[in-house]
Amino acid sequence: MIRPYQKDDEVEINNLFTEVFHKQRSIPHWEWKYKGNVLNKTIVTVAEENKEIAGHVALVPFKGKWFHENIYLGARTDTMVSPKHRGKGIYKDLNVEMIQQASEQGLDYLFGYPAPKAKELFLKYTGAQEIGFVPRLMKINKVSNLLESRFSALKLAKPLLKWADVFFRSKNTSLPTGYRIESKTAADSSFDELWERGKQLSNISLVRDADFINWRFTNHPDWDYSILALYKEEKLIGYIVTRTEEKQYGTGKVLNGYIVDVFADGEKEVWDLLISAGIQNLHEADVIQTWALDHTLLFKCLTSTFSFKHKDSPMPLVGKKITESLSDGISLSDWYITPADVDSF
């Protein structure tokens, strides 16, 4: 039986999440994502078999910009079927119901960044479109730690290896007169004003206003984000969001730094100042990673000014139009995308 979410389903949904993805997820995280989102909407569909939840698909709703229109976007997330119940057509039924739910909930366009098999089935069952692959950029910050973690025999040579770190670090950029960087714990109305001034940056984007910033970063139940705001005199002209995460690498561990989001109203100098502040904030990270589309000013600043390298493009962007009046023929060059568009970063 395919049905909408009912109160207290989240316990079984999280159990299914662990079974399928082999990761734990807390109830606060589920509530943040599916109840406390920007629109405070729960758009969750489950498949029930013999009184247990056998499958699940959900949409996280966002305010969106589509060329000159304000629309509602839905991020397709956590599509999963228990291994015990595969081969019964549940995955197809969930996707068909998801399209119906999206229409009933007033969403105009669905998007996602699915794994290869999920992408294949999303395209097959919904008529979705593969738009392109999102570039991942990387910058080595401390080569000594990477080499020591990868090759334990080099531990004794670490003092010598640290000399090499000097060649990988970016130079600190001094702020021009009248500019200042301020650490923020929450976004205020000045972020709404920044969005309105800078939204012509792209044709299609999640709305990056105060509601989005506060939900996505300030209220996140698992990660501690650093939000740095750039002011010129008293006017907010941009922000950058970063975080770190320790991960296993070789025989040791490395500290990954992420530039999760950047948005600005200004020319290349403004973006360079923001990225420089973010890199300085991640000075303890061994590696810094982010996403950026190659037509954007963000990509150009990262690669030309700060020597980020295009490592690969592992994430496909897939979209499905719900409102038929939306323009056709969109491409990746219409979008503005950062890791902030995905809740796992």
pLDDT tier for residue 27 given thresholds of 50, 70 and 90: very high
CATH code reported for the domain at 2-127: 3.40.630.30
Beta strands of 11-166 (E only): which ranges? 43-49, 52-66, 69-81, 109-112, 129-140
211, 158 contact by CB (below 8 A): no
Q: Taking the alpha carbons of 252, 24, 185, 134 in that order, is the dihedral positive or negative?
A: positive
Question: Strands 226-232 and 179-184: what pairing?
Answer: antiparallel
pTM score of the predicted model: 0.92
Please give the CATH topology (third level) of the domain spanning 135-314: Aminopeptidase (3.40.630)
pLDDT per residue as tens digits for the range 59-80: 999 999 999 999 999 999 999 9
> What are the tokens at 120?
């294949």
Domain residue extents for the chain: 2-127, 135-314
Instruction: Look at 53-62, 118-127, 269-278 and tell me which has the smallest mean pLDDT.
Output: 118-127
pLDDT tier for residue 252 given thresholds of 50, 70 and 90: confident
Task: Please tell me if the domain spanning 2-127 has the same topology as the one spanning 135-314.
Answer: yes
pLDDT tier for residue 157 given thresholds of 50, 70 and 90: low
pLDDT per residue as tens digits for the range 188-207: 999 999 999 999 999 999 99
Amino acid at 107: L
pLDDT on residue 5: 95
Q: Rounded CA gap, 240 and 115, in Å?
A: 28
* Residue 203: strand pairing partners: none
64, 207 contact by CB (below 8 A): yes
| Average model confidence (pLDDT) across the chain | 92
Q: What is the mean pLDDT of residues 164-179?
A: 72
pLDDT per residue as tens digits for the range 267-286: 999 999 999 999 999 999 99
pLDDT tier for residue 249 given thresholds of 50, 70 and 90: confident
Does pLDDT of 145 surpass 80?
A: no
